[in-house]
Amino acid sequence: MTKRIYFYTFGCKVNQVEIDHLKKKALSAGYIISGDLNNADIVVINSCTVTDKADKKYHSFIRKIKKNYPDITIVTTGCLPAIDKNIEDSDIIVPNEQKENLFYYINTKDSGKHADNTLINEKNAVGSSSKTRAFIKIQDGCDSYCSYCIIPFARGNSRSRDLQSIKAEFEEKLRKGYKEIVLVGIHIGNYGKDTDVSFSDLVEELVNIPGDFRIRLSSIEVCEIDDKLIEIFEKYPNKICRHFHIPIQSATDKILSFMNRNYTVYEFTQTIKKIRSRLGDVNIGTDVIVGFPSETKEDFEHTVNNLYHMNFGYIHVFPYSERKGTKAAEMKDAVPVKIRKERAKFLRDVSEDLKFSYSKEYFGQKVRVLVESDGKGLTDSYLTVNLLNHAEKNTFVIAHIIGINIDGSLIGKVSYDQ
């Protein structure tokens, strides 16, 4: 009997992209994808181990499954098995680097259980062409060993995907009708370290593919933004989104060095100045960890000041969370959790201010928007636009910005007399 698999993923965008890929493979391997655990024979869990909290979430999910669905076969893959060798409650463990062979593991080891009828068809499972945005994974792993991060241990060193296979998937997404393609990976700027095609070469190849689309880069490290990449942005303004997400993590050199980040605040500032002087009003967002061990009140204030001056369009704020097995988890001078939370709240308010200030600049402008649903679209600079008049989903339109909401989203009227 055909078996039904329920897929569940924890963690980052890469894990989500991988689970979509596995769903596709499951369908071609003859499985049915179930949207409901009650009707599934097998559950495939793509785990995350980025913090101790992530591990706890995984274990609590497994406990619930064991209790409520004692007959289901539990398959665990993702980052956790590389770090935790004792995932005793899983029937099948598939190492991250063996994900491609997941169904071989299941076929040879699974014993199979019941079946019923709620399922998701292929369209829902892998993303339909009526959606506007698709994600393509271009590399895996990381060579950086930031002191707070377990990822290089969980995913191994950086490995780049073959250029031709990326191009083939890119073209397939365009054929399916996607208008925005996001390049994702664990550390996308590491792309090409193990091949003779650099990250900028890859982006140049992709922007030159004919079609009506735009490319968005996911998070990229500051040291990996080279002149060639900036030139591509200059040369193909409609093909690549004027949006950078560059994690700074802290804006004091002392904490950056404890974090084992390979830049100073000055170097970071110089790069974003260069980007702005060459590309104009790009939206630059960032990630910041607050309450890292030994971050004093003064360090935090210094960070906040610097972040204001850097004029980020938004900040994703993370209170520091220990991860067993990392250097940072062994460091002295831990900041009390209460203070971490207070700093995070403060910085989130700063982020709201910055976002509003950035959005305000759009007032009165005409901007190109990709319509994502009836009444909503996204600029290439990653701002949501609430559209007052009807516009066809999954098309690019020009919107005249006539208002800004308090959350920084824009209000626009589609302008047909461009």
Residues making contact with ligand SF4 (CB under 6 A): 142, 144-146, 149, 151-152, 186-187
Least distance to ligand SF4, CB of residue 1, Å: 42
In the complex with ligand SF4, the residue whose CB is nearer, 158 or 359, is 158
C-alpha distances (whole Å) from 120 to each of 7, 69, 131 are 11, 20, 16
Q: How many CA atoms lie within 13 A of 326 on its CB side?
A: 26
Least distance to ligand SF4, CB of residue 205, Å: 24
313 and 283 Cβ atoms separated by less than 8 Å: yes
In the complex with ligand SF4, the residue whose CB is nearer, 151 or 240, is 151
- Per the structure block, which two tokens stand in for 335? 């900041």
Sign of the Cα torsion 311, 317, 319, 320 reads negative
Least distance to ligand SF4, CB of residue 146, Å: 3
Least distance to ligand SF4, CB of residue 148, Å: 7
In the complex with ligand SF4, the residue whose CB is nearer, 145 or 363, is 145
In the complex with ligand SF4, the residue whose CB is nearer, 262 or 373, is 262
In the complex with ligand SF4, the residue whose CB is nearer, 186 or 202, is 186
Least distance to ligand SF4, CB of residue 310, Å: 19
Least distance to ligand SF4, CB of residue 277, Å: 26
Q: How many CA atoms lie within 13 A of 31 on its CB side?
A: 27
Strand partners, 62: none
C-alpha–C-alpha distance, residues 112 and 41, integer Å: 6
Least distance to ligand SF4, CB of residue 158, Å: 9
C-alpha–C-alpha distance, residues 383 and 363, integer Å: 12
Q: Percentages helix, strand, coil for the chain, rounded to the nearest 5?
A: 40, 20, 40
Least distance to ligand SF4, CB of residue 151, Å: 4
C-alpha–C-alpha distance, residues 401 and 384, integer Å: 11
C-alpha–C-alpha distance, residues 220 and 218, integer Å: 6
Least distance to ligand SF4, CB of residue 28, Å: 31
In the complex with ligand SF4, the residue whose CB is nearer, 291 or 412, is 291
347 and 291 Cβ atoms separated by less than 8 Å: no
In the complex with ligand SF4, the residue whose CB is nearer, 83 or 92, is 83
Burial of 392 (0-12, 13-18, 19+ CB in 10 A): exposed
In the complex with ligand SF4, the residue whose CB is nearer, 251 or 378, is 251
Least distance to ligand SF4, CB of residue 209, Å: 28
C-alpha–C-alpha distance, residues 362 and 383, integer Å: 10
Closest CA to 247 of 295, 288, 275: 288
11 and 48 Cβ atoms separated by less than 8 Å: yes
In the complex with ligand SF4, the residue whose CB is nearer, 146 or 369, is 146
CA 102, 193, 23: angle at the middle one, nearest 5? 20
Ordered alpha helix ranges (H), 127-264: 151-155, 163-175, 199-207, 227-235, 253-258
In the complex with ligand SF4, the residue whose CB is nearer, 220 or 383, is 220
